Amino acid sequence: MTVLLGTRELDQLRALVERRMGLVFHPHQLPMLIDAAQDTARHFRYADAQQLQNALSGLPLGAPEMDYLISRITVGESFFFRDGPQMDFLRREFLPTLIRRRRRQGKRTLRVWSAAAAAGQELYSVAMLLRELLPDVDEWNLHLLGTDINAESLRAAVEGSFSEWSMRAVDASQRDRHFLPHGGGGARVRPELQRMARFSILNLAGEDFPSMLADLHSFDLILCRNVFIYFDQQRVHAILSRIVRCLAPSGVLMLGASDVVAVNIEGLETLQRDGMCYYHLLDRSGASDLAPLVEMPASAAGRGPRGAEQASEARRLADARSDMAAQISGLADKHCWQDVVSMAERAALRGLRDDAPTCRHIAAAFGNLGRHEEALDWCEQGLVHDPTSAEAHFLHALLQVEAGKDGAALEAFRRTLFLAPGMLEAHHQLGLLQLRVGNRDKGLRSLRNALQLARRQAQEGTGEKRSDAARMLAVIENDLVIHDQEEKPRQP
């Protein structure tokens, strides 16, 4: 059966793909889009193009029809150690310097994000460099995350088997060290390498990052290569601005050689050398030009008046604190993390350390800026004042994951779910952690719990809660498809 696409349906499809995924189809690329649409309509037995169109416009990314279409319209070409000059720079300069700095600071943590990771070749290449540079690799807390919009590619990434074509720039000694032979030709990454990398679905054209929840924040290195050619300049700028907000102070962003884009973002410095260029986020962490939004009364600085004046001074102090707590809460709602931290650092906050929600907001702000020790300190302080806050236990769990304390994180997730058994994000994150530490059955069980909750909330919720649940549903369905080879995509 051939599904015919008229000019109108094709225009609609082209607009939908651009709106939802950011992908722009130029006239000479339209045959690819037409083939992909016809193939999708056939596969899901839609009678005509209009039916397919109607279905696609109501479906979230992650629905099987969407995944199917995406896998046919995205170009997932990638190979290990693509772009020699960039890889050499990482191997010889950037990673050794970063590692030295971290050792000096006594922090064995590194965070790397391969955005548009395809089947993981780029992220696994960085993982190999790190194994070669870190004799004590097992003592490090390495967060290597690969994301892509194409669920089929991510499944292949988790599987870890690659064709000879993908391995064309891997030399013999790297092959020996990091790969195992594979029955059908090509090779498979060794399990220790596989365990270092994590993959999850993310649409760069969506709005879901930076996000502490999705672990998309404070990266030391972001590789976002050879994807911007598919977007228009306005979208590229919007995506780049969000990506840059996911960099840690002094973090580095690398684009692909084909990504000819105007990177004109405040605070980002362009550096060029040896036939390649990269972008460096200036470290502004201690320096804030923000004035405190509320000046604390003089007594807060230790000059308290005596006698009758004390009562009114105490009242003023309490008012100022609650004013500041309200401002912090408002800034946190808007994700203005640097402003929250600036307030926390510049004001006399002794009183605020007694207020559990404020502690949680400040902890989230530090966490989102990659300052995990301060985040943990504030989070634990908040828990002292309100040990029954499921949100605080959840944040505690996420921070323990960051700190590489998997056992403590599992415990904190359990506490969260004891207090809030319906917290879908906690089931989801617990599932991902269980999978990462090798508890496959428990991990899949938690993901299925999350799936059920997301389905229910997407049907019964209202407003923002409903759209959040629909988005989570798509993410969880994809996680299940990526991690559970027996899981079948939903049929129409």
The least distance separating ligand SAM from the CB of residue 11, rounded to whole angstroms, comes to 20
Q: Would you say 247 and 282 are in contact if contact means Cβ atoms under 8 Å apart?
A: no
Considering beta carbons, is residue 154 or 340 the nearer one to ligand SAM?
A: 154
Least separation in angstroms between CB 312 and ligand SAM: 57
CB atoms within 10 A of CB 232: 12
* 78 touching ligand SAM, by CB under 6 A: yes
**Shortest separation between residue 82's beta carbon and ligand SAM, angstroms:** 5
Find out whether 387 and 379 touch, Cβ atoms under 8 Å: no
Is 151 an interacting residue with respect to ligand SAM (CB under 6 A)?
no
- Minimum Å distance from CB 77 to ligand SAM? 5
**Choices 105-113, 115-123, 429-437, 448-456; region in contact with ligand SAM by CB under 6 A:** 115-123
Least Cβ distance, residue 187 to ligand SAM (angstroms): 18
77 binds ligand SAM (CB under 6 A): yes
Write the Ramachandran bin of 404: left for phi over 0, alpha for psi from -120 to 50, otherwise beta: left
With CB under 6 A as the contact rule, the residue among 210, 256, 351, 367 that binds ligand SAM is 256
Stretch that binds ligand SAM, among 203-211, 273-281, 318-326, 426-434 (CB under 6 A): 203-211
Is 249 one of the binding residues for ligand SAM (CB under 6 A)? no
Residues 6+ apart with CB under 8 A from 428: 446, 447, 450, 472, 475, 476, 479
CB of 66 to ligand SAM, least distance (A): 12
Which of 118/236 has CB closer to ligand SAM?
A: 118
Identify which of residues 36 and 331 has a Cβ nearer to ligand SAM in the complex.
36
User: For 181, left (φ over 0), alpha (ψ -120 to 50), or beta?
Assistant: beta
Q: Please identify, among the stretches 148-156, 166-174, 348-356, 367-375, the one whose residues bind ligand SAM according to the rule CB under 6 A.
A: 148-156
Contact 254, 182 (CB under 8 A): no
* Per CB under 6 A, 74 contacts ligand SAM: yes
**Minimal distance, residue 332 CB to ligand SAM, in Å:** 27
Q: Which of 25, 230, 337, 378 binds ligand SAM (CB under 6 A)?
A: 230
Determine which residue in the list 67, 122, 402, 425 makes contact with ligand SAM, applying CB under 6 A.
122
Q: How does strand 276-281 pair with strand 268-273?
A: antiparallel
Residue 227 is a binding residue for ligand SAM (CB under 6 A): yes
Residue in this structure with the two tokens 């990462």, named with its chain if needed: 436
CA distance 420 to 411: 14
Q: Where are the alpha helices (DSSP H) in 437-485?
A: 440-460, 463-483
**How far is the CA of 192 from the CAs of 76, 80, 221, 317, 381, in angstroms?**
25, 17, 21, 55, 37
Measured in degrees and rounded to the nearest 5, phi and psi for residue 39 equal -60, -45
Q: By C-beta, is 252 or 398 nearer to ligand SAM?
A: 252
Whether the CB-CB separation of 119 and 77 falls below 8 Å is answered with: no
Using CB under 6 A, pick the residue from 204, 300, 347, 481 that binds ligand SAM. Answer: 204
Say whether residue 38 binds ligand SAM (CB under 6 A).
no
Under the binding rule (CB under 6 A), the answer on residue 125 touching ligand SAM is no
Question: Using the rule CB under 6 A, is 75 a contact of ligand SAM?
Answer: yes
Residue 153 or 446 with smaller CB distance to ligand SAM: 153
Q: Which of 34, 56, 128, 149 binds ligand SAM (CB under 6 A)?
A: 149
Residue of 225, 321, 371, 428 interacting with ligand SAM (CB under 6 A): 225
- Which residues fall within 8 angstroms of residue 439, CB to CB, at 6 or more apart? none
Cα–Cα–Cα angle for 191, 195, 196, rounded to 5 degrees = 120
CB of residue 71 to ligand SAM, shortest distance in Å: 8
The answer to whether 67 contacts ligand SAM (rule: CB under 6 A) is: no
398 binds ligand SAM (CB under 6 A): no
Q: Which amino acid is at 55?
A: A
Using CB under 6 A, which of 9, 65, 67, 148 touches ligand SAM?
148
Q: Which is nearer to ligand SAM, 199 or 413 (CB)?
A: 199
SS (H, E, C) 78-128: CCCCCCHHHHHHHHHHHHHHHHHHHHHHCCCEEEEEEECCCCCHHHHHHHH
Helix (H, G, I), strand (E, B) or coil at 277: strand
- Sign of the CA dihedral 231, 233, 236, 238? negative
Compute how many residues bind ligand SAM; rule: CB under 6 A: 24
How are beta strands 247-255 and 161-162 bridged, if at all? unpaired
Residue (of 242, 246, 352) closest to 293 by Cα position: 352
Q: Which of residues 4-33 bind ligand SAM (CB under 6 A)?
A: 21-23
Backbone angles phi, psi at 253, to 5 degrees: -115, 135
Interface pick for ligand SAM out of 12, 38, 150, 416 (rule CB under 6 A): 150
Report the interface residues with ligand SAM, using CB under 6 A: 21-23, 74-78, 82, 116, 118, 122, 148-150, 153, 203-205, 225-227, 230, 256
